Homo-oligomer: A and B are copies of this chain.
């Protein structure tokens, strides 16, 4: 096999170094804006060596994206039908905000892909993603019908959680530019603001 799955320790290490470097580069410059030279340098490997581990630039990018959607949806999957509705939704908001804080590169990789028309993950958006969102929307609608939260459009509620939390990763430069040097930790402030927002929105 020309481009093996990692078996030895050294293969494991190099494959990981490449993916780590590629995440850095792709998340900042997008697919077309990134070069193998940049990735090779960041991974401290030669360009041909990169292409020993992956058949192409596309393949590196695809590998990164493949794992991403699943991880990205975990917090939504964790929303518990048997829990207390407002608390469940707030917990989802908190987990998403933590992901923006702890995995901003992944968020930007995803944002770059969507922004450019999602050429590589459109199928997953229309399949896996839509299915999960539809399922959780039914749950949210039920909570509304039971009078445990107010009645809102469940899909747009979910969109709002995504946009509000991912903003702090994707538009990070703008957030810092506006808040300036003297800003307190943006994420702590953001959490307080978002908890207020969703509590007041949802509580009947």
Which residue numbers of A lie inside 8 Å of B, CB to CB?
28-33, 108, 111-112, 114-118, 122, 125-126, 129-130, 133, 150, 152-153, 155-160, 162-164, 166-168, 170-171, 173-175, 177-180, 189-190, 192-194, 196-197, 200-201
Is A130 a contact of B177 with CB atoms below 8 Å? yes
A44 CA to B133 CA in the complex, in Å?
A: 42
Name the B residues within 8 Å of A117 (CB-CB): 28, 173
Is B189 a contact of A196 with CB atoms below 8 Å? no
Identical copies of this chain, number:
2
Is B111 a contact of A193 with CB atoms below 8 Å? no
Name the B residues within 8 Å of A28 (CB-CB): 116-117
Name the B residues within 8 Å of A158 (CB-CB): 178
A108 CA to B164 CA in the complex, in Å?
A: 17
A164 CA to B192 CA in the complex, in Å?
A: 17
Given contacts A118-B173, A173-B125, A177-B122, contact A152 B196 (CB under 8 A): yes
Considering the complex, give the chain B residue whose CB is closest to the CB of A156: B193
Is A115 a contact of B118 with CB atoms below 8 Å? no
Is B178 a contact of A155 with CB atoms below 8 Å? yes
Other contacts beyond A153-B189, A162-B167, A200-B201: 10, CB < 8 A: A30-B33, A32-B32, A32-B33, A33-B116, A111-B170, A111-B171, A118-B177, A125-B173, A150-B196, A163-B163
